[in-house]
A = this chain, B = another copy of it.
């Protein structure tokens, strides 16, 4: 259930930043932020990416920093993106007969520790409740970092016969991972929102099929909604979900800093948890069997990836499909021009677009200039701006300006809906195309260690032939650690290039078994 939000691979047990002094406020990364957006960014995406990101999420009013380090406030502008994705995903999983439920936030220590690899993966980051009011609890209680151990004792209770299968549940909830390495809004936070699906099947074949069905939904969230190209593939043994059988993921890439980022994960847990939690059933013939399980999740991390991929030096850039306002309409009055006429035209424009199902809003505030409003809504990433001034009014037209490429066109009022819809579709497609071009341009295929190191230092997304041995991955990590950050495997893409007989592993010189993406990553 890593969902990218800090993968819980074997790494984590021996992970980073374990020793620390959590602090209610001391560690808080506070930012004194300009209250009004639209005044421009002080950082540049190309020059100081990290600072640029922190500034954009705040100035676009997605995030407010909170007085507890690693916790962030999701403001309405972020929440509406989350809700749009949620409506899509929730409807899709309901079509698959997956039902929503809600399990408790708290886990008792006995259950949490039942699956050994799993607890090793999560234990260092578990937050513990030890007191209520003034009383000490007899036994400390953990806050869920993910819900496998919360749920599966009940799967064991509910599943008796083959007719109880498949059992397919999902919940939308918050989880807590008290990480100490570089908290980053959306990308790595101590509390985050996600959905977590947990399913149990009679056969491995059914579980395998569902893993891919869900992964395809995650691809659609990234590619169709967020306009971000992703690679579908399988994680290495070293990087898979702690306690699971295998992990698949969609992997995105941030060209600006050359980091891979796990977008969402769909795990086959095999029968490991079933064994520990005794989730057995009797099949048609009266024989005892053990279930095959999956778990899968995507989180608010998706929003952070979107900011990183599409944002620019004017601020956020929202793909139309996830924008709560797709069109912002701004009146541009001029001296003795017909101000009322202009305002009415703006209102009528919003009305016409809204009736056509386009999410539009007019900014009628009288204490800001049109220019200020342009910057403000650019900062917030609204895909399309419509300006209406005296000339537009006279010519029965509106001026439309694209956020993604600043292209301006005049649209005759009679063709408003048709042309706005077309522009929004173009913006959505263009954002994806540009992101894909940049991502593809970052891919470098290597065959030797020297090429690998060269590509790594150039912040590339590296595709390399690999022997697929866990020790070799650990070795790659260790050998690259000193430089600009340790490399790890991102995934072995399902879509494999040809691997000619005799190809050798870039790192070990042993026979290569597959092509795998490597790089530094979030």
> Which A residues form the contact surface with B (CB < 8 A)?
18-26, 35, 64, 66-68, 71-76, 79-80, 83, 99-111, 123-135, 137-141, 143, 153-154, 157-158, 160, 163, 169, 173-174, 176, 178, 190-191, 193, 365, 367
Contacts and interface: CB of A to CB of B under 8 A. Distances in A.
Contact of A24 (B99, B101, B110, B158): B110
* Copy count, this protein chain: 2
27 contacts: A19-B135, A21-B137, A22-B135, A22-B138, A22-B139, A24-B110, A24-B139, A25-B110, A26-B139, A35-B157, A64-B157, A66-B103, A67-B111, A68-B104, A68-B141, A71-B105, A74-B102, A74-B103, A76-B101, A76-B169, A79-B100, A80-B100, A124-B134, A129-B130, A130-B130, A163-B365, A163-B367
B131 A102 contact: no
A321 to B, nearest CB: 18
The 9 closest A-B pairs by CB, nearest first: A132-B178, A76-B99, A24-B139, A24-B108, A71-B104, A74-B102, A128-B131, A22-B137, A124-B133
Contacts of A157: 35, 64
A100 B83 contact: yes
A68 B108 contact: yes
Contacts of A138: 21-24, 26
Nearest to A90: B83
A interface majority secondary structure = mixed
Nearest to A131: B128
Contacts of A190: 106
Given A79-B101, A80-B100, 8 more contacts: A24-B109, A24-B138, A25-B139, A66-B104, A76-B169, A79-B99, A79-B102, A126-B132
Contact of A64 (B71, B123, B154): B154
Contact of A126 (B109, B133, B158, B163): B133
Contact of A23 (B21, B24, B103, B137): B137
A76 B101 CA distance: 5
Given A106-B191, A108-B25, A163-B365, A101 B74 contact: yes
Given A130-B130, A173-B174, A105 B22 contact: no
